[in-house]
Structure 1
Amino acid sequence: MSAESGIPTFRGPATGLWAAFDPQKLATPEAFRRDPDTVWAWYEWRRRSVARAQPNAGHVALRALAALPHLEALAVVTQNVDDLHERAGSKDVLHLHGSLSAPRCEDCGLPFAGLEDPWLKSSHEGATRLAPPCCSCGARIRPGVVWFGEGLPEGVWLEALAQIEQADFLLVIGTSGLVYPAAGLADTARRHGVEVASLNPDASVLDQRSALDWQVTAATGLPALVAALQPEGNRDGLV
């Protein structure tokens, strides 16, 4: 979804985040306990890269899709940990894998509100780049993402299930379909009689089980979809 904003995909063979980094050294609770400062610095680098990126035409099209008068509602359930959906104007986005913008204390769980503190900025730019302490209990602040070996946030997961079970249509955008339990949401939809379509420039394990498989990027396909769904007379300039 965010590749056309310049954010590397999770599993791309050449540019994916794990093509250059070992996830076991950076994306597990054990890695953070072993070397919290390196893990924190890497996630801060990712967060600042996201902050410089802009929502692409696909993000904007999802917001426009939600505004169509003949759609009852549009829920956005994402595995992405960036905030580009929100910055494009989508509301109530469900982040299954957490968010780079929501670090929290590893012990008490208190959200960390100091990402723009001068101390953190200077430590990020300097050589130390230390994981900051919690202002409540003094434990370390950890990135607000779901790591390998961790469960999804229960409230978000249950809300995503409820949204999908009650839907009329599920559009799966730009996912490999390999990461569970999120990849199982399409099968959940089918069991509840929900039509499923896949929009992805690359082949996906979800393709063969989808009613529609459209091999196109989000920034190309979603604006075209919005244009096609516009009421007559409102379609000019949307493709």
Structure 2
Amino acid sequence: MASLQSASHVVVFTGAGVSAESDIPTFRDALSGLWERFDPAELATPQAFRHDPALVWGWYEWRRMKVLQAQPNAAHRAIVELARRVPKLSLITQNVDDLHERAGSTQVIHVHGSLHAPRCFACARPYVGLVDMPVEPEEGRRIEPPRCLHCHGKVRPGVVWFSEMLPETTLRQAFAAARDCDCLLSIGTSGVVQPAAQIPHLALEHGATVVHINRQPVASQHAREISLVGPAGELLPVLLRQAFTDPVGAE
């Protein structure tokens, strides 16, 4: 793809579809055990944590266990390879896992926070006492959250919950990258969760080519907007081969 090959700054913007290819459950997946009785969206709020912190902390530890058991997939690895091929790459993700980092990506912009960066609910100081591999039953359980070492407040997951604002500095950094890039790859995201959904539109508005890679087609609204339909783990390696290794003029 010529726009990728000639780009001086590429932004890669990833969503839940990339993590799902590593078998990490999304909010839309059917749940079992304790979690079958709950809408995940109802557990992802400050109000839920205030009402039942053990339930919410248990839910997020179950999710974190799933992440720690998962491995980066071909899409994560292709993004690392792309970073080696272009002058500048900014990686922005809506995912709260660390699979990009474990694949080898650096300086990842996590606009929705991270499961691996908990903080105090009261004073917001980071908490560093998480166990690397929690042994959580598949059916889930309630777990009392740990206490802050500074103020003894309850520790909360380091993710952005519904009704919360995205971190201002992080969002500003993501928006600046979108305005500056000349090619943006939007991968595995529905493009409806605001304000992060503005990122591809900002890139378009500032002259970039935007390529959507998704299992569902994305309606193109602009001549510089392209939709590729299929799994990211299959399409991204092909895209890289076409952009950087196929001979000029090859079919």
- 1:82 to partner: Cα distance: 0.5
- 1:164 to partner: Cα distance: 0.8
- 1:26 to partner: Cα distance: 0.5
SS in 1 for 2:210: strand
Partner of 1:108: 123
- 1:232 to partner: Cα distance: 5.6
Partner of 1:209: 221
Point out the more displaced range, 20-29 or 140-149.
20-29
Q: Larger relative CO (CA 8 A, sep 6+): 1 or 2?
A: 2
| 8 A Cα contact 2:182 2:208, kept in partner | yes
Partner of 1:174: 188
| 8 A Cα contact 1:173 1:198, kept in partner | yes
Partner of 1:47: 64
Distance 1:121 1:197 in 2: 38
| 8 A Cα contact 1:82 1:101, kept in partner | yes
Distance 1:129 1:19 in 2: 17
- Cα separation, partners in 2 of 1:30 and 1:159, compared to 1, 3 Å: same
Cα RMSD (Å): 2.4
SS in 2 for 1:110: coil
- Cα separation, partners in 2 of 1:214 and 1:91, compared to 1, 3 Å: same
- 1:54 to partner: Cα distance: 0.1
| 8 A Cα contact 1:83 1:99, kept in partner | yes
TM-score by length of 2: 0.82
Partner of 2:173: 159
| 8 A Cα contact 1:11 1:19, kept in partner | no
- 1:9 to partner: Cα distance: 2.7
Alignment: residue pair count: 223
Distance 1:190 1:19 in 2: 40
Point out the more displaced range, 2-11 or 129-138.
2-11
Partner of 2:154: 140
Within a 5 Å distance, the mapping from 1:3-42 to structure 2 comes to 3-11=20-28, 21-42=38-59
| 8 A Cα contact 1:24 1:31, kept in partner | no
- 1:73 to partner: Cα distance: 0.9
SS in 1 for 2:95: coil
| 8 A Cα contact 2:217 2:227, kept in partner | no
- 1:134 to partner: Cα distance: 0.3
